[in-house]
Amino acid sequence: MAHRPVIACLLGLAALLGAADAQARVVYRCVRNGTVSLATAPEPGSKCVAKTIPDDAAKVPNLWGEMGMINGTLYEREQDGKTVYGTRNLPGSKVYLKFTVQTPPGSPAHEGLGKIGKPQLKIFAKEFKAAAKATGVDDAWLRAFAHAESGFDAKAVSPKGALGVMQLMPEVAKEYGVKDPFSSAESISAGARHIKQLKRRYKDDLVLVAAAYNAGIGAVARYKGVPPYAETQAYVIKVQALHDRYLTAMGRKETPAK
């Protein structure tokens, strides 16, 4: 097997190896302990999903996911009497080649629909007060997120599928028992409970809470901080600015101690 199809497929972020004259190849996307690898056969100990890839670079999908720049190694080993290749160093593997690839731009994050502007203290005042009282999350936090997320638009829908005032992704809304994501009361209540959990996880670090709210806990864990997604980095700055503005509008210089 030649290096050429290996490198071509890696650059396409999908297949690893296949016969040079093949019309299609099967690639396995394997996940173990939150890490992704690609292989020409199912990896023992990993959860693998087979993907049939046409031998046409123009049609090759991104099986890695949005993971930024990847510096990796392609390994060769014997499995069930056959030579197989994969990006995870399993027992019996030997280095086949080194590679560097850039996954496509973008992320699971959604860009906030709200713009930085004057604080809005009157809109949904009852709902924010109730959510703050129920969760212990300061009103300035809740309003900063709602402002950044939707600009307080209860009917807002982002291109990535986030809904309502707090722009909850469907899976998050489901987790918090939201029946109507366009209900301002339900959205704000669920958003407050979600922020409470994030505050607890990140020890009240607004930067990490904002990053996780936007890009997800997994992305923050993967990058050990704010992910290198342009959307998320801009979002964090926006939330920080809005939080400061709401504290000032409420006559406070800092968030009350717990």
Which residues form the catalytic set? 149
* Type of residue at 231: E
Return d(Cα 130, Cα 132) in angstroms, integer: 6
Give the three-state DSSP class for 86. strand
**Neighbouring C-beta atoms of residue 98, cutoff 10 Å:** 9
Whole-number Cα distances in Å, 176 to 78, 179, 192: 47, 9, 10
At residue 195, what are phi and psi to the nearest 5 degrees? -65, -35
What does 184-202 look like in DSSP terms, one character per residue?
Answer: HHHHHHHHHHHHHHHHHHT
Radius of gyration (Cα) for the chain, nearest Å? 23
**Neighbouring C-beta atoms of residue 65, cutoff 10 Å:** 14
